[in-house]
Every structure is written in structure tokens, then in C-alpha cells.
Structure 1
């Protein structure tokens, strides 16, 4: 750790110390195995999705483009935190450089915003596919998909660039020990020797606005889907659509609920234990990255068929 008690924004030699999971430091092996297993599952699952979409030219529909975006975001999100967590748990490498800390913070919080945007885009895609099937290709053409992807990235940047600037300009003259397993914004901001409330309020307000808007539009989309599905005369088609959307809704809730609880617990939940807050934040970032390839991709018939075709064709050539 740097000897200078005051961390300056231009001091690349300064560093923070990550605790891991407070009060659970005695179980590094178990925690390491848990998160390493999740990391491997996330990499393999999302890697297969990206490989299949990249190799199969027939998988160029809007939904497959969104699935590819989601897979890339999941890989970046989980890779930005888990390798460092494993080095803490297994190698006792608890130090993280000043610049590396804020790069990690930027990646974590920008990818969570982007993931929320892609989940909204996928809900809209399902709405158009089920409620306006004849206009699907016309509404969601390549230009529209590119514009949606660009809007998702730009929104994340507009949220994170000011926040990163506010946090990096804070003077850190107190303890350099971050009571977290990664450089979570609020955990780092609390170490500043000036009032960090402006950046914390900006973070909570921005996160609430993004999550609130996305959840509202997702709810409207699936509400319209439900209305259309219930009005179908073919119960077989209705059940298929309802089953698919039901799984999507479960994963959406699994992503948003822990995220909302994590944000507000760290800002206002003084009664919630620190290790509970940290574990909630960790699972909020890792669990959806494991489940997304299974629920969104492997339940998609064409991707499932493409994976089986790729596996069996390789076996045949072996």
C-alpha cells in the first residue's frame, strides 16, 4: 500500500486494499470455489452463445443480435470482478492500484446499465414478435438494431463518465481499506476525507432512473404480450409464448430485485450487515451471467439446434 496517506488523482502508484467479504475472511477457499465455478459456467455458456451466433449465418435475427450483445456484456461484467476476487481468496492479493480500481468501477457499473438496456430491448423484441409478427422485420431492421445498441452504450457512458469523474476527484486521506470484494462505488466513496454525498446521491438517482424506466417499459411490454397471448385461440401457441416469457420474467426479476436491494441497502440500509450487502452485490453480478445463456439462449430453439449441429458435426469429423 502506498506510504503517502493522501491519495491524489494523478498518483498511479497509490492503491486500495480490498477486504473480500467482511466477516467471512476465514473461508477463502470455499468462496473461491463458489465464484470460480460460477465464472467458468458464465464463460462457457456465453462463449458457446457467441461462437454459435458468430459461425451460423442464419442466426442474424434481431433476437440473436440482442443475445450476442447480452453475452458480451455478461463476459465483460463477470471478468471485471471475479479474477481479482479469486486472487484475493486464493493468493491473498488484496491490493488494487488506484487506476485499476476506478477502471473496475467503471466497467462494473457501466455493464450493469448496459445489461438493463439489453433486457429492455429483448422485452421489446418479444413484444413486436408476438403482438405484431407481420411487421417484425420491418420494425426491427438492422439499422434499428444498431441504433438501439448505440443508445444502450451511450446511456451507460452518460451515466458513468460524470460519476467516475466525481469519485476520482475526491481526496482519499482516510483508510485505504475497501470493505468490499471489488471497487464498488459507494464502498470506495466512503473512504474520501470530504463529503462524498454528491457522488452517492448522483449514483442512487441515476441508478434509480435507469432501473425504474427500464422496469416500467419491460412491465408494459410483457403486459401487452400477456394480453395478446391470453387472446389467442390456439392454447398450444399461447402456452409456448407464455412459458418463454415467464422464464424471461423470472430472470429479469432475478437481475433487478437483488440489484435494487443492493443499491438501497448500501445507501440507506445501516441495519443490513456488511457481509450481506457484499454477498448480495457479488451474486447480483455473477448469478445472472450464469443463467442468461441457459434461459435466453439455450431455450431458443434455433440456437439449441445450432449448438447440437456444431457438436455432432465435430464428432462426425473427428
Structure 2
């Protein structure tokens, strides 16, 4: 167990414990963590290289996918290297400013990823429900504006979080029972009432990821209605296949995200279970996204094989 050098209600450092109760297994746990992180970095970098180098992939769906891949790199790199330092070297101290930057990046980029998921759903909705106007609606300019709005939304709504946390007094301890700095984990350490702050965090989560998820579900209801009105079975199959990759990515993203969010605020599960799920949220989707699109998208798969020298383009 780490010892804290806490002496003030406004500490200069926090102590990250890692996964409480599983300290003896940290080295073993680090093996899948490190492996998945390396796969996610390599996979997303290759995905970005493929989309950039192949003109036929400069379409709305793939441009939004490139934005998602970049966000995946940021969110996983914001937390996983420090987690591995805890597991390997017991380097548990983190300066308060680095901790608050980590809070901002994890939550803001997670919100931005949710926005990109919604943008990809909108692209599929227009492509299937209004195909003749797809290129007119989702122009390069429109794609850039959508991306900018998503980034600004995430940054602006989550920007208050680190500033609110920095003003709190931590009168009892500066030990954080987590592998990275997370908003609720820090808010629970404060020795003042944080109800209003937690309510703001809950409202932001609903107005971003919650609302995005509702709109995505509504868009797919409309997509399914449009698909089953198509005259031929082959046309229905082809239309649904263009959405399957996005649905898989969406499930991989929202399932651990919602589980982690609700268990932290409303659930009563073992701390090590919650922390493992919180890390799955940062590790699993960034690894799965390139695999899902690489396997299920012929254009990406063929270009990737060409880059790796395994098959001519």
C-alpha cells in the first residue's frame, strides 16, 4: 500500500493506488493492459495512414472515422502510460496539474468520441434515407464544421471540471483509489458537499453522451424503416452491411462507458471491478475500432495490406 505525503487540504500531488485489492497482481494485469494499448496505438495509426493515403476513402464516413481514431489515441495515451508506471515501477505520485489535465482529457475526449459516433450515425442516415443528396449535405466544409462543433462542445462543457476540482479542500487524504485521475474519484475525496458539482457532471453526461446515444438509436430506427422499404433483399442486405461496422463500434464504446458511469454514481460494486471496467472503457474501444473497420471494410483492408506489403493495391 502506498503511503501519502498529504499535509494540506490543497495538496500538490495525488497518490494513485492502481487497483486496490489486486496490488500483488499488478505486474500480471499490466501484460494485457500494455498489449491492448500497443495494439490500439498501432491500429489507429495505421487506420489514419490508410485513410490519408487512399483518395477513395476521403468520404464522410471515413473522415469521421479518422477523427475517432485520433481521439482514441489521445484518450488512451492520456491514462494508460501512467497506469503502466504504477503497475511496473510503483510510480504512484502524480502532480495535481497533471492529474487535472488527465481528468479533462479523459472526460472531454470521451465526450468528443460520443459526438463523432453521432456524426457517423448521421452520415449513415443520410446515405440510406436520402442518398441522392448525400454528397450535397455532407460536403468537406460540412464535415469540418461538424467535427469542430463536436470538439468545441466537449472542450467547453468539460472545461469547468478540473477548475472545480482544484478549488476543493482534500482534508482527509490525497490517495486516489484508481489507476488514473477521474472526476468522481477526486470529488469523493473532498471534505465539503459536492452535490452541486456532481449534479453538473451528471447533467453534462446526459446532454452529451446520453443525448448522443438517444439520437443514434432514433437514427437507426429511421434507417431500419427505410431499409425494409427497399424492393429487393439484396439491396436491404447491402444497406444494412454498410451500418454493421458502426453498430459494432458503437456497442464497444457505449457499453463499458455507461456501465462505468452508472456504477460510479449509483451502483455498489467492488472497487476493483469498477476500476477494471473504467480501464476497459479506455482500452477496449480504441483497440476494437481499427479491427472492426479493418476487417469489415474492403477498401480499408486492401489498402492496409498494400501498406504492409502483403498484397498489391
Query: Do the aligned residues in 2 keep the contact of 1:222 with 1:245 (CA within 8 Å)?
Result: no
**Which secondary structure does the structure 1 equivalent of 2:94 belong to?**
strand
304-313 vs 230-239, which deviates more? 304-313
Corresponding pairs, count: 310
Instruction: Say whether the 8 Å CA contact 1:102–1:164 is kept in structure 2.
Output: yes
Question: What does residue 241 of structure 1 align with?
Answer: 239
How far the C-alpha of 1:4 sits from its partner, in A, is 5.7
CA contact (8 A) 1:39 1:82 kept: yes
Deviation at 1:3, TM superposition (A): 4.7
CA–CA distance in structure 2, aligned partners of residues 214 and 3 of structure 1: 42
Match of 1:294 in 2: 291
The C-alpha deviation readout for 1:109-155, integer Å capped at 9, x for no partner, is: 01100000000000111111122221111000011111101110111
**TM-superposition CA deviations, 1:219-256 (whole Å, max 9, x none):** 11111111122222232232233234234223312321
Q: Does residue 215 of structure 2 align to residue 213 of structure 1?
A: no
Corresponding residue SS for 2:193: coil
Shift in alpha-carbon separation, 1:57–1:251, aligned structure 2, 3 A: closer
Of 295, 303, 306, the residue aligned with 2:300 is 303
In 1, Cα distance between equivalents of 2:9 and 2:51? 45
Q: 2:7 aligns with which of 5, 8, 17?
A: 5
User: Which segment drifts farther, 183-192 or 54-63?
Assistant: 54-63
1:203 is the counterpart of 2:201: yes
CA distance 1:105–1:75, change in 2 (3 Å) = same
Instruction: Quote how far apart the aligned CAs of 1:48 are.
Output: 0.5
Moved over 4 A (4+): 1-4
Residue in structure 2 matched with residue 26 of structure 1 by the alignment: 24
Q: Which runs of 5+ in 1 are unaligned?
A: none
- Residue in 2 aligned with 1:224? 222
Counterpart of 1:149 (choices 147, 150, 155) is 147
> 1:157-172 to 2 correspondence within 5 Å?
157-172=155-170
Cα distance between partner residues in 1 of 2:250 and 2:199: 25
Give TM-score, length-normalised by structure 2.
Answer: 0.93
Unaligned runs of 5+ in 2: none
